[in-house]
Amino acid sequence: MSAVLWFTDCRLEEIGTLATKEYTLEKGLEKMKSEWQDLTFTFVPYRDSVSTSTVVLSPIHAADTDATQLGQLSS
pTM for this structure? 0.50
Q: 67: exposed, middle or buried (C-beta count within 10 Å: 0-12, 13-18, 19+)?
A: middle
Let me know how many helices (H) and strands (E) the chain has, helices first. Answer: 2, 2
Q: Are 21 and 71 in contact (CB under 8 A)?
A: no
Question: 13-50 burial string, b = 16+ CB within 10 Å, else e?
Answer: eeeeeeeeeeeeeeebeeeeeeeeeeeeeeeeeeeeee
How many domains is the chain partitioned into structurally? Answer: 1
**In which domain, by residue range, is 61 found?**
3-73
Q: Between the ranges 6-15, 19-28, 40-49, where is the mean pLDDT highest? A: 19-28
Going by pLDDT thresholds of 50, 70 and 90, the confidence category of residue 1 is: low
Task: Tell me what percent of the residues of the chain surpass a pLDDT of 70.
Answer: 59
